[in-house]
Structure 1
Amino acid sequence: MSRISISRSRIAATAVLLNDHPFKRLPGCRRDRFEMQGRPTLKPLAIGTDTQVVGISRSRRCCQTVVAMIKTHRNGGS
């Protein structure tokens, strides 16, 4: 196993422990709270729609713009 896969497995194991750990003052744990409140509001993603492809390409361009701005700022540009 590579170091990355070992780290990921350790993180996953720690996340399970943290999510199942009971709250100090409230009843239940994070997993219980998510099952009651979070999961019912989640909806599956629509796959293959044109709007998602446009959204992804816009997001990618936006990220590239932000990265370019950061590099310019680090290099002392205005």
Structure 2
Amino acid sequence: MGEIKSERNFIRDTLEVLRATGEISNDAFLDAGTIQGGLSLLLNLLSHGISEKEASGQLTSLKARAEVLNETYPDLDRKVENMRK
């Protein structure tokens, strides 16, 4: 769960920086926030002992959302990944 929490925090912090610096629009920020929210939901469900099947379903849903984001905001993934240290 630590890796998921770290990724959620990275996405949250990175999106805030990208929006504050004008690298992404407010719409992109809000839409991408659904990934952060999905990771938070997954963490909550895992802490309550959901099954591996349920966790896998949540991850599949997040991947689908990420694909839609990538189609809507083609440069978003690159901008986020460029912020990794």
When the two structures are superposed, what TM-score results if normalisation uses the length of structure 2? 0.31
When the two structures are superposed, what TM-score results if normalisation uses the length of structure 1? 0.33
Structure with more helix by fraction = 2
Q: Which has the higher contact order (CA 8 A, sep 6+)?
A: 2
